[in-house]
Structure 1
Amino acid sequence: MSFSMYRLYVDEVGTDDMGAVENDDHRYLSLTGVAMTLEAARDDLGPKFNWVKSTIFEHDPDNPIIFHRRKIVQRKESFGALNDLRKADLFDRAMMKIIRQCDYTVITAIIDKLDASKRERWREKHPYHYLMQILVEKFARFLVRKDSFGDIMPEGRKGKKDAALQEAYETVRTQGNYYFPPEQICYRIPSQKLKFRYKQDNVAGLQLADLLAHPSHMYIRSTRGHPVSLGRYARQVATVLVQSKYDRSTTGKIHGYGIKFLP
Structure 2
Amino acid sequence: MAIVMLQETHDQAFTTEVLKIKTDMFGHSAEAPVIFHRRDMVRGEPPFERLKADPFFAMEFETRWTDLVEKSAYLAMACAIDKDEHIKKYVVWQHDPYHYCLEMLLERFVKWLKRHKFCGDVVVESRDKYADKRLKAAYRRFYDSGNLAVTAEMAQEVLTSKELKFARKSDDIAGHQLADSLAHPILRYMKTENLNEPPATGFGARLVDILKATKLARKPRTDLIQGWGLKWLP
Fold match (TM-score > 0.5): yes
Structure 2 residue aligned with 1:262: 233
Q: How large is the Cα RMSD of the aligned pairs?
A: 1.3
Asked whether 1:204 is paired with 2:192, we answer: no
Structure 2 residue aligned with 1:79: 48
Structure 2 residue aligned with 1:223: 193
Alpha-carbon deviations, 1:10-51, whole Å to 9, x = none? xxxxxxxxxxxxxxxxxxxxxx10110111111221111111
Q: TM-score, normalised by structure 1?
A: 0.85
Asked whether 1:112 is paired with 2:82, we answer: yes
Q: Measure the CA separation in 1 of the matches of 2:201 and 2:41.
A: 14
Q: Measure the CA separation in 1 of the matches of 2:169 and 2:132.
A: 15
1:122: Cα distance to partner?
6.4
Code of the residue aligned with 2:131 in structure 1: it is: K
Structure 1 residue aligned with 2:20: 51
Asked if the contact 1:68–1:211 (Cα under 8 Å) also holds between the matched residues in 2, the reply is yes
Asked if the contact 2:37–2:181 (Cα under 8 Å) also holds between the matched residues in 1, the reply is yes
Alpha-carbon deviations, 1:214-263, whole Å to 9, x = none? 11111111111422341211110110011001000122011111011111
How many pairs were matched up? 232
5+ residue gaps, structure 1: 1-31
Give the counterpart of 1:61 among 30, 38, 49.
30
Alpha-carbon deviations, 1:42-79, whole Å to 9, x = none? 12211111111111112232221000111111111110
1:87: Cα distance to partner?
2.1
Asked if the contact 2:78–2:186 (Cα under 8 Å) also holds between the matched residues in 1, the reply is yes
Structure 1 residue aligned with 2:115: 145
Structure 2 residue aligned with 1:39: 8
SS of equivalent to 2:166: coil
Structure 1 residue aligned with 2:67: 97
Asked if the contact 2:86–2:94 (Cα under 8 Å) also holds between the matched residues in 1, the reply is no
Does 82-91 or 62-71 show the bigger shift? 82-91
Q: Measure the CA separation in 2 of the matches of 1:190 and 1:55.
A: 36
Structure 2 residue aligned with 1:22: none
Q: Measure the CA separation in 1 of the matches of 2:140 and 2:80.
A: 21
Structure 2 residue aligned with 1:174: 144
Identity, in percent, stands at 30
Alpha-carbon deviations, 1:89-141, whole Å to 9, x = none? 22111000000000111111111110010123663311111111111111001
Asked if the contact 1:152–1:195 (Cα under 8 Å) also holds between the matched residues in 2, the reply is yes
- Pick closer, same or farther for the CA change 1:143–1:199 going to 2, 3 Å: same
- Pick closer, same or farther for the CA change 1:124–1:223 going to 2, 3 Å: closer
| Higher share of residues assigned strand | 1
SS of equivalent to 1:64: coil
Q: Measure the CA separation in 2 of the matches of 1:248 and 1:261.
A: 15
SS of equivalent to 2:122: strand
Structure 1 residue aligned with 2:163: 193
Structure 2 residue aligned with 1:13: none
1:178: Cα distance to partner?
0.8
Q: TM-score, normalised by structure 2?
A: 0.95
